[in-house]
A and B are shown apart, each in its own frame.
Chain A
């Protein structure tokens, strides 16, 4: 049985962001991490592998060459194989084109009826939560998103998917795709043993040549040409007007604040 986990290397947006003069993000200047929701997806796969004989976990990422580093770390965490999909032709892809490429890569890796795909719910740079469901659609398999609890018995999964004010308990068979949220688990750390063992694990690179014969890969289904959405304008919001700091001792400052709020009819 295979569990394929889709992961993305993202800039750490909780840190200060480097912005270029034209207003776009300077990714090269930023620290990168594995997208947090994807870590939960990897952990979920490893947790199943812990108690399932003959289960292999394959981590897959579409990204520039440095993403291979991230895949190495995930191999050290316990994944069995890594696949990096990287090609100039794939650059500039929106979620539609990205999911197209990932789906083709998954077909190339081999996807059986007993297999599953886990993704993080969304990436912290794009925030769209679209790629997971779109991969599922293109592979023609059922999806469940916002999964925060998961139990597998044989080929049936029983999961809880979060709603804003509760949850749904859903059963689904394999093959299927799940998107995971942070409440699902706490990702394990790499161990020294894991790092040592990861050195021998395979990490393949899929480039355009590898995938071009898949019917899903055409010049108008990948990259910018294959993206139904395009960025029209990108900009920084104007700096907000300066904050009025209320001076004086705490009690005085609060008094002045409420006087102002009262005058402006805010309270």
Chain B
């Protein structure tokens, strides 16, 4: 058997997506990444494969085909039932070293962000975290750069034969964007936050045509050096901000009357068919649960409509919502930074403004 060399670029082919499942349920981010992976695979003219680990998960693999996977590698073992760093890293790296994909995408969930770096280190390759945009085709990348930056793209030289993965991500809390490449090593690895990429429509024919390949797993109990004592899901329903079309978010501006502020946000959200989100300041103050936090250390959201109530608009908050289709800001301070990110703004006291908004929303 030849030794694995991560610098042997030409030996690596194919686009893979690590598909996370918890308790036998696929994570929504898997479908988003497969949808994106499909485009990359088409641009490269290669196969898109899902990689699914777990115990008795063969039955859920077919759904991944519906979002674009040509093939799904299934690695099953009772030792993979619960996520452990040691177990999952070993199995993922073993199969990557055997089959050599050129690109591996992983959802930047709490688990993906634990697994990704460990694998990249073991495989001696590069990993770029929290990517917001991916391209392999140079012209598509140039077009993206033109729309997304102030750079003079028309006067830049691009190598049209360069089909490496260009991974764009925010840096410095979102103040800057950077495109990262991994030119000398393979696979090129990238994690992407849930809710950032668009999930395409489920294609039942593609699901039928998908090849499910159950692969041998070499994993012993002693390979895993941690012991999972229990997994606790919070009893209360967790809000899924990333799926919401309308988000009404509250910031520290509600501090004068926290209960009323949240009640008003709930009323407005109900009237618009949306959900309530919050800035970090509100979560840190303990007024709202962390699952509703939008921002750099919270969730990234792209709803049709984002309404920011009493949110000053710190860059870390904006990093989590600035790609929303329509942003409305309500703030007493007419020079609050949130207005730099918003499409529409109303200066005023949210405790007065929001009831009128609820009235208008209910009328229409």
Contacts and interface: CB of A to CB of B under 8 A. Distances in A.
Interface of A: 11, 13-14, 17, 19, 23-25, 94-96, 99, 124-134, 136-138, 142-146, 158, 161-173, 176, 227-241, 243-246, 250-251, 253-255, 257-258, 260-262, 264, 266-267
Interface string B341-364: 111111111001100110011001
A230 B305 CA distance: 36
Given A13-B315, A96-B121, A254 B151 contact: no
Contacts of B316: 13-14
A96 B122 CA distance: 10
A143 B118 contact: yes
B79 interface: no
Interface string B225-269: 111111111100010000000000000000000000000000000
B121 A17 contact: no
Nearest to A131: B117
Nearest to A183: B290
Given A245-B346, A254-B356, 6 more contacts: A146-B114, A168-B228, A235-B150, A236-B177, A250-B348, A253-B346
A159 to B, nearest CB: 9
Contacts of A124: 173, 296
A245 B334 contact: yes
Contact of B121 (A137, A166, A169): A137
B16 interface: no
Contacts, number: 257
Given A142-B85, A168-B231, A235 B357 contact: no
A229 B173 contact: no
B6 to A, nearest CB: 8
Interface in B181-201: 181-185
Given A130-B127, A260-B344, A236 B176 contact: yes
A164 B364 CA distance: 35
A95 B127 contact: yes
A125 to B, nearest CB: 5
Given A138-B121, A250-B348, A254-B360, A166 B233 contact: yes
A176 B314 CA distance: 36
Contacts of B233: 165-166
B180 A231 contact: yes
B229 A170 contact: yes
A236 B114 CA distance: 29
Contacts of B150: 23, 235-238
Contacts of A14: 173, 314-316
A96 B231 contact: no
Indicate the member of B173, B232, B315, B339 with the most A CB atoms within 10 Å: B173
Contact of B305 (A146, A227, A266): A266
Nearest to B356: A254
Interface string B59-89: 0000000000000000000000011011001
Nearest to B164: A232
Given A128-B130, A230-B181, A166 B361 contact: no
Contacts of A158: 229
Contact of B356 (A142, A145, A166, A251): A251
Contacts of B320: none
A162 B109 CA distance: 11
A238 B315 CA distance: 15
A267 B184 CA distance: 49
11 contacts: A25-B172, A143-B85, A169-B229, A172-B225, A172-B227, A234-B177, A244-B344, A246-B345, A251-B356, A262-B364, A267-B272
B340 A130 contact: no
B229 A145 contact: no
B113 interface: yes
Contact of A169 (B117, B232, B296): B232
Contact of B180 (A130, A229, A261): A229
A141 to B, nearest CB: 8
B172 A125 contact: yes
B183 A230 contact: yes
Interface string B137-179: 0000000010011110000000000000010001111011111
B109 A23 contact: no
A258 B180 contact: no
A151 to B, nearest CB: 12
Given A169-B232, A243-B329, A232 B179 contact: yes
B113 A145 contact: yes
Nearest to B354: A254
Indicate the member of B6, B110, B227, B349 with the most A CB atoms within 10 Å: B110
A244 B343 contact: yes
A250 B352 contact: yes
Contacts of A126: 171
B348 to A, nearest CB: 5
B313 to A, nearest CB: 11
Interface string B288-321: 0001000010000000110000000011100000
Nearest to B231: A168
Contact of A231 (B179, B352, B357): B179
A234 B172 CA distance: 11
B256 to A, nearest CB: 16
A13 B230 CA distance: 37
